[in-house]
């Protein structure tokens, strides 16, 4: 049973068909890279799955059970967490405050919003979480996020998505605009997520990174699912060809949605 399956997702903006009958699936402990040229429909698919911008059509199964995703809250309750490219961090708050933003732990107090923050528990859990993710480059979890490097900010955003204990994490361009060593840190972090049994979807333009971290590579082209590859057996050129539509990929490299080779 796949952890998450989407079937027949379609979305059009006026006359533009952004997504046409796209199937998508990701399993627990698996990293799926979603690649494609600009306008291929990657972001539209992610927005449909995360409930930010529901598709016009499409069915979703979460751990074998059919579910509805209409709002971000629906996705959150199912255990789908999305880290967007802009990270949505508050630069003026420290790492702990950002991790728990909107889901702060509170100690006993006067009730309602006046309840006192439980800084100690939040700081403790933050240290545990970052330790489990092997995030070792922060000098202190009380550092303002605004003073962190790009890779550290990405790590904070990913760690934050884990606070609600999600089972599917979607990362939108996690390595864009990062230097070499910071990219390596983030890729290592993605591997930690897989080790912890999470289903991970990574959108990326950087094929070198995709080949480094992904188990399967799903190519979208012009709003349709053009091809699916097994990272271990596929040359990078074939993925490029599928992205650009230069040629049909070699059939023996393609995988069906069930993970077995397809016959054309």
Partner 1 sequence: MSVLQQPPVVPVPEPAEDEGARRRLLRSLAEGELSALRVVLMLALIWMIFQVQEERFLSSANLTNLILQITSIGLISVGVVLVLLLGEIDLSVGAVSGLCAGVMAVLTVRHGWAPVPAIGAALALGCAIGTFNGFMVVRFGIPSFVVTLAGLLAWQGGLLYVLGSTGTVNLPPGPITDLAGTFYGAAAGWAIVAVAVAFHTLLAVRRQRRRAAAGLPSAGMARVVAGSVLLTATLGAAVMVFGADRGVPLAALILVGFVALFSWLTEDTLFGRHLFATGGSVEAARRAGIKVDNVRIVVFALCSTMAAAGGVMAASRLLAVNQSSGGSDTLLLSIAGPVIAGVSLFGGRGRVWAALLGALVIGSISNGMDLLALTSSVKYMITGAVLLVAVTIDALARRQRNLAGRH
Among 30, 123, 173, 238, the residue binding partner 1 under the rule CB under 8 A is 123
User: Residue 222 burial by CB count (10 A; 0-12/13-18/19+): exposed, middle or buried?
Assistant: middle
Instruction: Give the range of 39-47, 121-129, 193-201, 251-259 binding partner 1 by CB under 8 A.
Output: 121-129
Among 13, 56, 77, 121, the residue binding partner 1 under the rule CB under 8 A is 121
Name the nearest CA neighbour of 187 among 161, 146, 158, 163: 158
7 forms part of the interface with partner 1 (CB under 8 A): no
3-state secondary structure of 249: coil
115 forms part of the interface with partner 1 (CB under 8 A): yes
Least distance (Å) between residue 144 CB and partner 1: 8
131 forms part of the interface with partner 1 (CB under 8 A): yes
Least distance (Å) between residue 183 CB and partner 1: 15
3-state secondary structure of 215: coil
Positions 67 through 96 that interact with partner 1 (CB under 8 A): 88-93
Among 1, 114, 180, 264, the residue binding partner 1 under the rule CB under 8 A is 114
Q: Which residues, at least 6 apart from 86, have a Cβ–Cβ distance to it below 8 Å? A: none
Instruction: Give the range of 144-152, 196-204, 210-218, 240-248 binding partner 1 by CB under 8 A.
Output: 144-152
241 neighbors 247 (Cβ within 8 angstroms): yes
User: Residue 66 burial by CB count (10 A; 0-12/13-18/19+): exposed, middle or buried?
Assistant: exposed
Q: Which is nearer to partner 1, 35 or 178 (CB)?
A: 178
Strand partners of residue 106: 117
CA distances from 236 to 46, 171, 231, 263 (A): 24, 21, 9, 21
Residues in the site for partner 1, rule: CB under 8 A? 88-93, 97, 101-104, 106, 109, 113-117, 120-121, 123-124, 127-128, 130-131, 135-142, 146-150, 153
């Amino acid at each position: 049973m796949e952890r998450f399956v989407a079937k027949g997702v379609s979305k059009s903006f006026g006359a533009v068909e952004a997504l046409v009958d796209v199937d998508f699936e990701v399993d627990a402990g698996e990293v799926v890279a979603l690649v494609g040229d600009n306008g291929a429909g990657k972001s539209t698919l992610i927005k449909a799955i995360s409930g930010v911008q529901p598709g016009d059509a499409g069915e979703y199964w979460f751990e074998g059970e059919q579910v509805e995703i209409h709002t971000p809250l629906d996705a959150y309750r199912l255990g789908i967490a999305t880290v967007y490219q802009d990270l949505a961090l508050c630069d003026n708050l420290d790492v702990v405050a950002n991790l728990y933003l909107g889901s702060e732990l509170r100690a006993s107090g006067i009730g309602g919003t006046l309840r006192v923050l439980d800084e100690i528990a939040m700081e403790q859990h933050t240290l545990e979480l970052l330790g489990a993710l092997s995030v070792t480059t922060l000098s202190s979890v009380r550092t303002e996020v605004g003073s962190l490097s790009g890779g550290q900010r990405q790590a904070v955003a990913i760690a934050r998505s884990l606070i609600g204990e999600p089972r599917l994490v979607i990362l939108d361009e996690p390595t864009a605009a990062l230097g070499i060593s910071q990219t390596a840190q983030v890729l290592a972090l993605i591997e930690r997520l897989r080790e912890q049994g999470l289903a991970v979807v990574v959108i990326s333009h950087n094929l070198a990174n995709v080949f480094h971290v992904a188990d399967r590579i799903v190519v979208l082209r012009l709003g349709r699912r053009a091809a699916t590859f097994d990272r271990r057996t596929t040359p990078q050129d074939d993925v490029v060809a599928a992205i650009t539509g230069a040629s049909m990929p070699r059939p023996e490299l393609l995988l069906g949605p069930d993970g077995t080779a397809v016959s054309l």
